[in-house]
Amino acid sequence: MANSQLPQVTSQEAREKFEEKMKELALKAKEGEVERAAAATGTPYLNLKGFPVSPEAISLVPETQARAANAVCFFYSGSEFRVGALSPKDPAVDELVYQISERTQARGVIYMISEQSLNYALELYEKLPKIRPLAKGVAITEDDLKKFGEEFRSFDELQARLKGVSVTDLVTLIVGASLSAQASDAHIEAEEKEIVVRFRLDGILHVVAKLRMADWPKIISRLKLLSGLKINVTDRPQDGRFTIFAKTGNVDVRVSTIPTTYGESVVMRLLRSTAVGLQFEDLGIRGRAYEQLKREVERPNGMIITTGPTGSGKTTTLYAILNKLNDPETKIITLEDPVEYKLAGIAQSQIDSSKNYTFATGLRSILRQDPDVVMIGEIRDLETADIAVQAALTGHLVLSTIHTNSASGAIPRFLALGAKQFLLAPALNAIIGQRLARKIHQECKEEIKLDEETLQRVKEILKDSPLPQGLSLDTLKFYHGRGCAKCFDLGYKGRIGIYEIMVMNKEIEEVILSGKVSEYVMQEIAVKNGMITMVQDGLLKALDGITTVEEVFSVAE
């Protein structure tokens, strides 16, 4: 009777209890292995199961970064924080600790934890109402920049300086040096035996340093963590961003990585806000061309198109025009890919092809906002071209770019896309062809004599151009930079635009409507009507001592 009152234990329940007990023993054994491994390396160990992890601690690290680094912050007191990691020696963990320390000014300690502890801590993210992300960025002070400027007087000095810093500071120094050198982008590439660092100065790449291949894993990990990229993804391209926080103003850095034979290639593009502050009057367009373009920009409707290859300054020119037009009475909307610089007082929209938000679909939506001025990043297809032309004909001033080599090539390009001739002709106001030429460093400028062949070529190009006062074809003077420490012995510092402005007139319209359009015909008509070509504009600036003949011919011929 007594036995019949005992609870019946089924074989299923016994099996489940046995499996649960074995699981507990396995986890305990794994914890023991981790504890012994920590002791062997002299690293503190902790089992987080049941440890009171505070929301303040766990929220110091974004969940995505915690999962990427296999590490969590489990304790924070204000003056000290503690991080638990599967692999405490991983560079990603060092970077995580560095970032927390930079933000909180607290002292960090790294503990070794088991996978069970990590999973327990990661589950806590779901219980938090909101995780405040850790601010990404390299903190560079004015003192840092001044120090970099003093020490980085040549590429050899930068090479020596990079050898004497820790890997954690190495990225900061590279970025700081690129800012000091006024580089537009920095390239860090893994090769067979070394890491090559190159800066693009005034459009030209220069090797500035070579680093040990052994440091590559730490360098790439730090760069990826800074820019929000996945550390464990090395076989496909990634794109990210981070910000340099400086007293003179923040600089956004756009980071791109692609897989290569010996590792990954990293390009960091420095997006300075100064690029958007350029005024229309400072573009470098001069004389009759300036007056013509100024008049067309001030018209209430029509299209102004900039042309040129990638990196020729088209977007900067459009921003300078927008700066001229920007006032409280004018509604300006831009459609860009991507939005790299923020413009105060202007509504900027970024296309997203993955959501079918293209230049064409975006432009349709923009026109429903009743703008006065519309800037389209690029006209790539017939649909966008048609909508832009219609907008220009219905009371909007439309600014955009199109990829051709010269101003005279823009109209044939529009027609090749399928734009209607009878609509295009009245829609166009002006077309700007442009290039960027390096400027002579004025502190080491000196007069030079050209060889006879080059001089005759210059005279042939300038024979129909207005020359600076006091000069004739027989008294031409030219200059170059001999090179000095302040320009890294390059002889150049900064860049200036060289332009050709083709303004629409009745003769050009008649050619468009006739259908007998070619780049050569357009060029001939524009020159006949007084257009200064890009190469002529460049040579006139060379006569003024702004750039060199060699540079003009390299970018405009």
How would you label 92-127 residue by residue, b for 16+ Cβ within 10 Å and e otherwise? bbbbbbebbeeebeeebebbbbbebbbebbeebbee
Q: Which domain holds residue 159?
A: 138-271
For residue 93, what is the domain's CATH number? 3.30.300.160
DSSP-derived 3-state class of residue 4: helix
Do 205 and 256 share a domain, yes or no? yes
Query: Is residue 50 situated within a structural domain?
Result: yes
Q: Which of 101, 127, 153 is the last residue of a domain?
A: 127
Query: Is residue 97 situated within a structural domain?
Result: yes
For residue 286, what is the domain's CATH number? 3.40.50.300
pLDDT at residue 296 in the model: 93
Do 348 and 364 share a domain, yes or no? yes
Half-sphere exposure of 427 (CA within 13 A, CB side): 26
Task: For residues 544 and 552, give the distance between their C-alpha atoms in angstroms, rounded to a whole number.
Answer: 13
How would you label 344-360 residue by residue, b for 16+ Cβ within 10 Å and e otherwise? eebebbebeeeeeebbb
Q: Do residues 189 and 195 lie in contact, with contact meaning Cβ atoms separated by under 8 Å?
A: yes
pLDDT at residue 14 in the model: 66
Q: Which of 77, 103, 127 is the last residue of a domain?
A: 127
Q: Which of 219, 243, 271 is the last residue of a domain?
A: 271
**Which of 503, 498, 504 minimizes the C-alpha distance to 536?**
498
Q: Do residues 471 and 477 lie in contact, with contact meaning Cβ atoms separated by under 8 Å?
A: yes
pLDDT at residue 134 in the model: 41
Task: For residues 379 and 413, give the distance between their C-alpha atoms in angstroms, rounded to a whole number.
Answer: 10
Task: For residues 211 and 214, give the distance between their C-alpha atoms in angstroms, rounded to a whole number.
Answer: 9
Query: Is residue 350 situated within a structural domain?
Result: yes
pLDDT at residue 143 in the model: 64
Do 142 and 195 share a domain, yes or no? yes
Query: Is residue 15 situated within a structural domain?
Result: no
Query: Is residue 98 situated within a structural domain?
Result: yes
Do 399 and 356 share a domain, yes or no? yes
Interacting residues of 462 by C-beta distance below 8 A, sequence separation 6+: 473, 476, 536, 539, 540
* Tokens encoding 232: 């464990």
Number of domains in the chain: 3
Do 258 and 297 share a domain, yes or no? no
State the alpha helices, DSSP H only, in 132-279. 142-151, 155-163, 167-180, 216-226
pLDDT at residue 130 in the model: 41
Query: Is residue 23 situated within a structural domain?
Result: no
pTM of the predicted protein model: 0.72
Query: Is residue 452 situated within a structural domain?
Result: no
Q: Do residues 122 and 49 lie in contact, with contact meaning Cβ atoms separated by under 8 Å?
A: no
State the alpha helices, DSSP H only, in 265-381. 287-297, 314-325, 359-367
Do 322 and 223 share a domain, yes or no? no
Do 235 and 290 share a domain, yes or no? no
Q: Do residues 81 and 129 lie in contact, with contact meaning Cβ atoms separated by under 8 Å?
A: no
Q: For residue 239, is it left (φ>0), alpha (ψ between -120 and 50) or beta?
A: beta
**Which of 329, 365, 529 minimizes the C-alpha distance to 431?**
529
Do 526 and 397 share a domain, yes or no? yes
Do 338 and 416 share a domain, yes or no? yes
Cα dihedral across residues 15, 17, 20, 26: positive or negative: negative
Q: Which of the 8 DSSP states describes residue 106?
A: -
pLDDT at residue 132 in the model: 39
Do 122 and 174 share a domain, yes or no? no
Q: Fill in the amino acid letter for 511.
A: V
For residue 173, what is the domain's CATH number? 3.30.450.90
State the alpha helices, DSSP H only, in 463-545. 506-514, 519-528, 534-543
Written as tens digits, the pLDDT of the chain (557 aa) is: 445 454 555 677 766 676 666 666 677 888 889 899 999 989 999 998 878 887 778 888 888 888 988 999 999 888 889 999 999 998 888 888 888 887 777 889 999 999 988 988 888 887 764 433 444 556 566 666 666 556 566 777 778 877 777 766 788 788 888 888 888 999 999 998 999 999 999 989 999 999 989 888 888 888 887 787 877 778 889 988 887 776 666 788 899 999 999 889 999 999 876 556 678 888 889 888 999 999 999 999 999 999 999 889 898 899 999 999 999 999 999 999 888 778 888 999 998 877 888 889 999 999 999 999 999 999 999 999 999 999 999 999 999 999 999 999 999 999 999 999 999 999 999 999 999 999 999 999 999 999 999 999 999 999 888 887 777 888 899 999 999 988 888 999 999 999 999 999 999 999 999 888 889 999 999 999 989 999 999 999 999 999 999 999 999 87
pLDDT in tens, 220-233: 888 887 787 877 77
Do 213 and 313 share a domain, yes or no? no
Query: Is residue 132 situated within a structural domain?
Result: no
| Bond prior to 338 in cis (omega within 30° of 0) | yes
Do 142 and 265 share a domain, yes or no? yes
**Which of 505, 489, 487, 496 minimizes the C-alpha distance to 542?**
496
